[in-house]
Amino acid sequence: MLLTACGESERNSQLLKRAETVMEDSAEVALAILQDSIDSASLSTERGRAIHALLLSQALDKNYIDIASDSIIAPAVKYFASGEEPLYAMLAHYYYGRVFENANDNHNAIAQYTKATNYINQTSDHLIHGLIFSHLGNLYSNSCDYPKSIEAYLNAYNSYKLANSYNHKIYSLYDLSCSYRGNQDYNNANKIISQVIAEATDSCDHRMIQTGNEEFIIQQINIGCYKNAIKLYESLKSQYTDNSPYSNINIYLANAFAFLQDSKTAEFHINKAWELANSTNDSIVIFYKSSKIYEYLNDYPKSLECLSNGVILENKMLRKELEQPLLTAQRNLLAQDLEISKYKLHQSIFTIVTILLVSIIIILLIVLYSRRRILKKQQLINEYTETILSLRDTLNSKDKTYSAIINDLFDYQYSILNDIGNTFADISDNATDQKRLYQEVKEIIFRFENPKTQSELEKIINRYRNNLMQKLRLEFPNLSNDEYKQICYHYAGFSPKFISLLMHQKYPTIYKRRSRIKDKISASNSSLKDELLAYI
């Protein structure tokens, strides 16, 4: 597993990576880093906070600190809910299940573990897979739903085999044997527990050998082989120095000795079973088994008392269990919800793809239409430019009477050029389109950027506008280059919108500069100010 916090500060990223690196071998160090060295409030991204929440939940669990509130894991569950990162989504649901299990909320714990299993085929962390199935098996076993616990423990065992984890694998086999016994499938229970003892023997795992033999004794007693069970138990007593078998084996041994009418030994094991009992299930088993034991010993008042106590305690537990929805129905509902979510996701993807395709087609049509218009405008510009040049040459050899006609043609052609520029600006409303369309028309419209062309434009204006630019420069020699250029464009009859395009400046900038120019000229003592302002 590799957790990273993209977008976080270098310090926080390094601390999170450090915590992840030492998690397996030094969970207490990882917990110290996450609690003491990282302030969750300093994490700047949602993903960083989600990863911190996930690592902290993992560190607490590995340090056997049981958290019954979802306040820590909630950010991770929420962030990874989309399933785009299946490993993190699986871990978030697993540790959310651990929170519910710590709170004794078996219904929600099973729901979260089941959600975690949905990501198993998309991930390769077999150890986590095994842990998920093991916890599911434990919860189903505690609810006496042995068929489901058997299925879960089998999946856990197969996952642990892939993870090559002996301890997890051997304990999942042991749990599987106990579930087969609970389901009264003694053949498979005996087969599995024999495998446990064999593998434990090969690995010199003395504690698991003893635990496996104790389960084998219980199975022998269940099928009525009391003498064989007692004989094996006696051999275990002499073989192991740690003579503290679980409460279950004691009550089963008491049952065997009672059946053989050894009341003293039976009472000893009943008392031993009560000393070692650590759960409500243990107490219920002891009450019911004690009822049968006292029946064997002909002590019917005690038998009835134990039976009554067992019924009362079991009823309390059943009432608590019945407060939760039926576990099987919950699992089926989750499966249906998953299928519905997948269908909705596919429908959403189809809708989005369709919208994107339609949008692309519309954009292409707009681009093609715009390109066609620009080509037509380009053709017009070329034609009128050639006409202007031709008329200018003709003007040099003709009488001054043609001056008015040339002036009109001048105004007309630049008006068309101005309209084309306005159209181009309207078409190019955003920066991306302007950049694309710019390549198509720059040779035509933006030839004014050439200083030679600019100078030529001033000469034309001087020739046909009564030397306006020459008079302007003489009357106002301190204007800026941008001001001279903008005034020249105004004299040529260009609109502010087109001027903003030619000068690569925003509309407001052009308008403000025109106002300042007017103010300067109006406030001057020049006798030509009215003439100079006429075309601005």
**pLDDT value of position 399:** 45
State the DSSP string of 396-447: HHS-GGGHHHHHHHHHHHHHHHHHHHHHHHHH--SHHHHHHHHHHHHHHHGG
3-class DSSP string for 331-391: HHHHHHHHHHHHHHHHHHHHHHHHHHHHHHHHHHHHHHHHHHHHHHHHHHHHHHHHHHHHH
**241 phi/psi in degrees, rounded to 5:** -80, -30
How confident is the model over 179-212, as pLDDT tens digits?
999 999 999 999 999 999 999 999 999 889 988 9
How confident is the model over 89-147, as pLDDT tens digits?
999 999 999 999 999 899 999 999 999 999 999 999 999 999 999 999 999 998 889 99
**384 phi/psi in degrees, rounded to 5:** -75, -30
| C-alpha triplet 313, 317, 320: angle, nearest 5° | 145
Is pTM, for the whole model, over 0.75? no
Q: How far is CA 518 from CA 346, 354, 475, 523, 529, in A?
A: 63, 55, 14, 8, 9
Residues in Cβ contact with 317 at an 8 Å cutoff, skipping those fewer than 6 apart: 280, 281, 284
Mean pLDDT estimate for the chain: 84
Residues in Cβ contact with 92 at an 8 Å cutoff, skipping those fewer than 6 apart: 50, 54, 73, 76, 77, 79, 80, 81
Residue 230 one-letter amino acid: I
Number of other residues whose CB lies within 10 A of the CB of residue 191: 12
**pLDDT value of position 343:** 67
